[in-house]
Structure 1
Amino acid sequence: MAEADLDAVIRQIAKAQNRSLMAAVKKRRDRIMARAAKAKDGAQRDQLRVVARSTLELGTAAARRLQNSAEIAADAYARAIRHAAEEAAAKAAAAKTAKKKDGGRDSGRKAPGMKAGKAKQARRERRGLD
């Protein structure tokens, strides 16, 4: 998991949270419906059924919001990583282009046919020391 994509991990954790949240919501709904079944009069039974139905709706909405938030966070992370990778590739390409324009002589080696003293002088001039 050292090289795992964190956006996939975020989505996986959100799915697990969503499952556990929905299980808790259904458990609470079932408990309220059981109380409704044991109710003595019809008004209380109807009221408990409405409460159970609204509990399920509100729990489902909360789970949906949680899932959307996790997906947005995962997408934002993936986009940021992609942008950073593109930026690093652009910097590497710019450095490679700059090195080609310089002629590749920035490594401190003397040019062919140049004596050692003149090569040192040329390097100093390129750096702006003379």
Structure 2
Amino acid sequence: MGEKLRAHVRTRTAVLLLGWLLILWSVSIGGHLPLFCGLLAINGYAFALMAIDKRAARRRQFRLPEKSLLLTGLLGGAAGIGLGMVLVHHKSRHASFLTCIPLFFLLQAAGIWYLW
């Protein structure tokens, strides 16, 4: 594994961990602000990943693995990945993204509705 990929994995893990800790904290205290902050952190990061990977694709630089983007979408970043697909036009023709990201989003929306 290259150094750039290791750095990406470390950052992804830290952001997802922080986001999920905030979400779990909101469940324990019954507050909505930590839930909102956790989801914003995860989805903002997911959107940034899509924009960074699109820029790298144009410049023919190091690319993030598709499974890493999908994993980020699965673990809470489906809205951010979906916005990246629409606004940045990245991965918008890939069948795996066109099927998985809406499914992940629906599952996450149902989970948020349940927690709310």
Please give the TM-score of this superposition, normalised by the length of structure 2. Answer: 0.40
Please give the TM-score of this superposition, normalised by the length of structure 1. Answer: 0.37
Could you say which structure has the larger radius of gyration?
1
The structure whose RCO (Cα within 8 Å, separation 6+) is larger is: 1
